[in-house]
Amino acid sequence: MKETLKKAEERMGRRIDHLCTEYAEIRAGRANPAVLDKVKVDYYGTPTPINQLAAVSVTEARTLTIQPWDASILRQIEKEIQKSDIGINPMNDGKIIRLIFPPLTEDRRKGIVKDVQRIAEDTKVQIRNVRRDTIDKLKSLKKSGELTEDDLKHGEKKTQELTDKFIKKVDSISADKQKEVMEL
């Protein structure tokens, strides 16, 4: 039973990690190198993340600079950024690329908050699915005689406690991200 609960905790933890990754990619008006994580550049036939081809840094609150180590791929990086769904037009001065994040309008902020809430709700559903799978596993262990009725009840209680803990964590992370978006 302990092993089953440990696996459930690991799976729920991975959901939280994924949530944090998704939130890092949300463009909230502040320059954040994570917005480039999904942008890949064809470098000698291999799709390569920008952060492996260039120094990516935040020079000001709303400016991201990309300085490639190989100047010959500057145009390719610029094209891939334009093709991506980042929604920012890169400025190329021949040596570095600058991405200037525009300030967000109130409507855009509200839209981002809705996205943040939707992602949080999806994560909660995934955590509840882990709970359901874990309880099903415990019930099958009881059916096969590996667990007693008391162990099953105890396991279900522990699983619910784990679920509640992770749901609270999702709510907390979501509230922080919503606050960040609305304060910018």
> Per-residue pLDDT tens for 6-38?
999 999 999 999 999 888 877 666 777 888 888
33-100 carries CATH number 3.30.1360.40: yes
Query: How far apart are the C-alpha atoms of 45 and 153, rounded to whole Å?
Result: 56
Question: What pLDDT, on the 0 to 100 scale, is given for residue 29?
Answer: 65
DSSP at 29: S
- Tokens at 138, concatenated: 């415990």
Question: What pLDDT, on the 0 to 100 scale, is given for residue 28?
Answer: 66
User: Out of 3.30.450.370, 3.30.310.50, 3.30.565.10, 1.10.132.20, which CATH number does the structure's domain 2-25+105-183 have?
Assistant: 1.10.132.20
Which residues of the chain form CATH 1.10.132.20? Answer: 2-25+105-183
CB contact set of 92 (below 8 Å; sequence gap of 6+): 74, 75, 78
Which residues of the chain form CATH 3.30.1360.40? Answer: 33-100
- Tokens at 101, concatenated: 């994040």
